Structure 1
Amino acid sequence: MTPAQTPTPIRAKSLAPIPHGFLTRTGGVSTGAYASLNTGTGSDDSPTAIAKNRRRATDAVLPAAQLVGLYQIHSAEAVTITAPVDDTFRPRADALVTDRPGLALGILTADCAPVLFADSEAGIVGAAHAGWQGALGGVTDATLLAMEAIGARRDRIVAAVGPCIARASYEVDTGFLRRFCEADPENERFFADARTDHYQFDLEAYVVNRLAAAGVGRVEALGRDTYAEDDAFFSYRRATHRGEPTYGRQISIIGL
């Protein structure tokens, strides 16, 4: 691959030296609406292009590793991975953890928050897909519990929240606000007033707060807006607002 074709992962300072990266939409082989590093197995893109993109993304983070992904369902389910998983039999969940070298854990997003976790002392990593449903349901808490079950310690765990839709780009209605406030009245602080009966929701801040409240040793937020940065990221909401028929997915990867 030439430098122009090579994916360039976004790194979190807090996760160094663990191999990891939040991939952008650049550096792949897909064309059209999927240009160019579309890694979404659920999209209508060419399966051959998707497979090449997933290999490129993995090699940019952990060369020669076996990528393991999920059939993401916007849940709070976390699974422990101990061996490679065929894409045909991906677990139905939204977080995965491992302590096995050579496995690259991958999470797909297109506005939802990707969260990467590591306890480097224990040699345990995790990845979570935190859309609003999973975030509210506790997918990050489930990830922490799964990591602890195989030997991680919560106060040693570092978590980084990657590119996701920002508050300025995420308008929601009163019903959405009510769901969060019914779960915890203090959640109102993650909403800002917008037009009548509408609010701007700060997904990144909500996820960061959940992690901090759960006792994570260090939390880093990258502060990148998938909706606004159309040259860098795919965005479901941006595609919807523009009336585009489809959209790609970027991947975030961590491994040992």
Structure 2
Amino acid sequence: MGNVIDLGHGVRASVTERHGGVSAPPYDSLNLGLGSGDDRGTVLANRETAARDLGLDTGRIVWMNQVHSADVLVATEPGGVGTCDGVVTTRPDLVLASLAADCLPVLAADAEAGVLGAAHSGRLGTAHGVAANLVEAMAGQGARADRITVFLGPSICGGCYEVPPRVRDETARDTPEAACTTRRGTAGVDMRAAVTAQLRRAGVTDIRADGRCTLESPELFSHRRNAPTGRFASFLWRT
């Protein structure tokens, strides 16, 4: 399991890691992704384990059916919120989850307004501005961008995320900060830099990051390194 991160004002975040669950290879072992190809019962058992280790109740967690969109929904109940890549809630008892295995988890909180948000910003979600949409949706629930604290979970880094030049240019069309050169000297995408720029343009100033590269960190799932593979979760909740 990962560590619990204190974001202040009673808001906590945590990123799970690969080990401590019951999934067999290639999903070994704490796979939390139902859409990964793993056995459903095994994934649900892993979700129970992850929640218990964090002192959370699985019945409080909100899960997205993530499809690499820029859509954001409002959660008023635990469980599946629907097909989206961003979710916002004002319910103080709900826990928001974002699944990833190279994409960038975005966790956001305006503790004063009592608004939490979580997003899954993959290459397409980054290109289409899901993080900025998350901030907008939070504002629609009473948050203020200048009060929002954002925690960016682990993702594949720009030095490792090699893509064709056309794909890099498409991703960077609206966010130039997405374009980078990998360590191999090839075209790349830097999702962390892009999302940070999008958040700053949306008025968010308090942005923190895990900083780990999923491809380079064997304790995390990475689709680029080990497809097929499992998914880790980034959780956000209020105490």
Q: Considering the TM-score relative to the shorter chain, is it more than 0.5?
A: yes
Deviations 1:44-87 (A, max 9, x none): 222221111112222334522521111111011001101123x4
Q: What RMSD, in angstroms, separates the aligned Cα atoms of the two structures?
A: 2.0
Corresponding residue to 2:43 among 50, 53, 63:
50
State the alpha-carbon separation in 1 of the partners of residues 53 and 201 from structure 2.
33
Residue aligned with 1:143, SS: helix
Residue identity in the other structure for 1:215:
G
> What SS does the aligned partner of 2:65 have?
coil
Which of residues 189, 200, 220 is equivalent to 2:188? 200
What SS does structure 2 have at the residue aligned with 1:107?
A: strand
Match of 1:182 in 2: 173
Residue identity opposite 2:165 in structure 1: T
State the shift of 1:183 in Å.
2.6
**Structure with more strand by fraction:** 2
**What is the correspondence of 1:153-172 to structure 2 with a 5 Å cutoff?**
153-172=144-163
Change (3 A) 1:142 1:182: closer
Change (3 A) 1:194 1:9: closer
Q: Which amino acid aligns with 2:199?
A: L
The residue that corresponds to 1:72 in the other structure is 66
Q: What is aligned with 1:117?
A: 108
**With structure 1 as the length reference, what TM-score do the two structures score?**
0.85
TM-score by length of 2: 0.91
Greater Rg by CA: 1
Aligned to 1:191: 180
Instruction: State whether residues 76 and 89 of structure 2, in contact with CA within 8 Å, keep that contact through their aligned partners in structure 1.
Output: yes
Residues 116 and 127, structure 1, Cα contact 8 Å, conserved in 2: yes
Letter aligned with residue 224 of structure 2: R
Question: Do the aligned partners of residues 193 and 163 (structure 1) sit closer, same or farther apart at CA in structure 2, a change above 3 Å counting?
Answer: closer
Q: Secondary structure at the match of 1:191?
A: strand
Which letter maps to 1:234? F
- C-alpha offsets along residues 127-179 of structure 1, whole Å, 9 cap, x if unaligned? 10000110110101111111111111110000011110012211111101221
Q: Find the counterpart in structure 2 of residue 32 from structure 1.
A: 25
Give the letter aligned to residue 177 of structure 2.
Answer: N
The answer on whether the counterparts of 1:208 and 1:221 sit within 8 Å (CA) in structure 2 is no
d(CA) in 2 for partners of 1:77, 1:212: 20
Aligned to 2:99: 108
Point out the structure with the larger helix share.
1
Q: Which of 230, 233, 247 does residue 220 from structure 2 map onto?
A: 233
For structure 1, the residue ranges without an aligned partner over 5 or more in a row are 1-7, 241-245
Does the Cα contact within 8 Å between 2:109 and 2:148 map onto a contact in 1?
A: yes
Query: What fraction of aligned residue pairs are identical, expressed as a percent?
Result: 35
Give the Cα–Cα distance (whole angstroms) in 2 for the partners of residues 194 and 166 of structure 1.
Answer: 10
SS at match of 2:220: coil
